[in-house]
Structure 1
Amino acid sequence: MSNYVPIFAHRGASAYAFENSIEALNEALVLQADGVEIDIQCSKDNILFVFHDLNLKRLADINKNIVDCTAEELKGYRLGRNFLRRFSKRTMPTFEEVISWALEHRMPINVELKESLVGQPTSIIEVLKIIQLPDGSHFSSFHNELLQLVKKHRPEFETALIITKKFNWEELHLYSHIDTIHAHKKYYKTRFLKACENANKNMRFYGITGEENYIEDPHPIVTGWITDYPDRLAKKQNRQ
């Protein structure tokens, strides 16, 4: 049997259901995911919503940034792809609603903090003061300053930096507030795995499809796969 690594369903099981929706989260449960990845953006009035894009055009056909809308406005927008949104009753879930879902199902969440929070740090600080999450949950972000806030206010939470091609791997040891590196699967290479191992940090990889040959025998520092296809990975890892 292969070494089992926890599977996080990207935006819920987004290959099978509408991304970042309660339906996608429920589908992740059905498809044997061990956790879910969600995206957090902030409204004009500092309410946190589960939504990937800064701009609403792609999924709501509204050419406005989420930070320019109140929570009441955001709750009134119907979400969907292309013309299908005309028939949709789906609206944007709040972070609070998704936390309640996660606690009910004891489902760990990978909370990705998005760009709208950079200019409104108060919103995440206030939530951090009171938030409770299922065991195995963690915060991730491309924005290092947001992860510094998480570690400052809730040091017990795991923090994961999502790296880009500009990242200086030689400075990895300087990121004392970072526990884990999240990287695209193209970084699954000896050089980067060794760098994290030497810096005493774990790794999770996203963009995983279930076709990768290293899934069945992963490097010891790999603590998660992030995928649109949790069912494929569960099968690949011989999960019963």
Structure 2
Amino acid sequence: MTKRIPIFAHRGASGYTLENTFKAFEKARKLGADGIELDVQCTKDNVLVVYHDFNLFRLTGVKKNIIDCTYDEISNFPLGKPLLRRLSKERIPTLKQVIEWANKCKMPLNIELKESLLTNQKPLKDMLQRVVLPEGSHFSSFHNELLRIVKMQRPEFETAFIVTKAFNWNDLITSTYFDAVHANKKYYKAKYLEVCEKANKGIRFYAINGAESFLYDPHPLVIGWITDFPDRVAKIEKIKK
């Protein structure tokens, strides 16, 4: 029997509904996701919120950066694409609210730490000192500095570095502040998997859409799929059984 690879829904079931909302998270759970990937930014008044972009314009129509707004301000901004926004009841949730939901549902979280935390690290440190997360949760980031903070505050939490084109894969062997790698599926190649094996680090792949042939017989180092379409990947996991 091939081992089951945990499926993390990218910003919730974002292939079907509005990203990083409770609607997307609930949809993902119903579609068979094993966990939720979400993004964390910080407001002007130090509230950690679940939102992807540094600028609010794409989903709120407000031309402001998130660090220039208080949570009271952004909590009143309807979320959605331009034509649907006026009728939307969706709002930007706080990380605290999402963690409470996740603990209640026993839904692991892949918490991606975003750029607004680089210049205001105190809210992250405060959160780490007291947070309780569902089993199987972890932190990820493009920013090694933020993963270093996680490890210093809570060494028991798994951390994962999100690689870019500029990343030197040979640095994996000497990296100490992250336990795993998150990479676009284009990096599902033998040369990168071999480096992960030498570094003894697992890898999760994102941008998975369910059509990838490697889903049926994944490399032993793969520890997760990150997808907008959790139902498609869940169907393949059932076939593998």
The normalised TM-score by structure 2 is 0.98
The Cα offsets for residues 104-140 of structure 1, whole Å up to 9 and x where unpaired, read as 0000000000010111011100000000000000000
Which AA in structure 1 matches 2:38? I
The Cα offsets for residues 139-193 of structure 1, whole Å up to 9 and x where unpaired, read as 0000000000000000000000000010111121121121000000000000000
Contact 1:43 1:67 survives alignment (8 Å): yes
1:237 to partner: Cα distance: 1.6
Stretches of 4+ moved more than 4 A in 1? none
Q: Name the residue aligned to 1:157.
A: 157
Partner Cα distance (1:238, 1:159) in 2: 28
Instruction: Report the RMSD for the aligned CA atoms in angstroms.
Output: 1.0
Q: Name the residue aligned to 2:116.
A: 116
Gaps of 5+ in 2: none
Which AA in structure 2 matches 1:78? P
1:3 to partner: Cα distance: 3.4
1:4 to partner: Cα distance: 1.6
Q: Name the residue aligned to 2:140.
A: 140
1:17 to partner: Cα distance: 1.4
Partner Cα distance (2:150, 2:3) in 1: 31
Which AA in structure 1 matches 2:233? L
The Cα offsets for residues 188-228 of structure 1, whole Å up to 9 and x where unpaired, read as 00000010110010000000001000101100010000000
Partner Cα distance (2:89, 2:16) in 1: 18
Q: How does 1:16-31 map to 2 (within 5 A)?
A: 16-31=16-31
Q: Name the residue aligned to 2:231.
A: 231
Partner Cα distance (1:143, 1:218) in 2: 27
Give the secondary structure class of the aligned counterpart of 1:17.
coil
The Cα offsets for residues 28-79 of structure 1, whole Å up to 9 and x where unpaired, read as 1110000000000000011000000010110000000000000110111111
Q: Name the residue aligned to 2:39.
A: 39
Contact 1:12 1:24 survives alignment (8 Å): yes
Q: Name the residue aligned to 1:176.
A: 176
Contact 1:2 1:238 survives alignment (8 Å): no
The normalised TM-score by structure 1 is 0.98
Q: Name the residue aligned to 1:4.
A: 4
Q: Name the residue aligned to 2:195.
A: 195
Partner Cα distance (1:101, 1:57) in 2: 27
Does 1:216 find its partner at 2:216? yes
Partner Cα distance (1:48, 1:21) in 2: 14
Give the secondary structure class of the aligned counterpart of 1:76.
coil
Does 1:105 find its partner at 2:82? no
1:2 to partner: Cα distance: 4.3
Give the secondary structure class of the aligned counterpart of 1:237.
helix
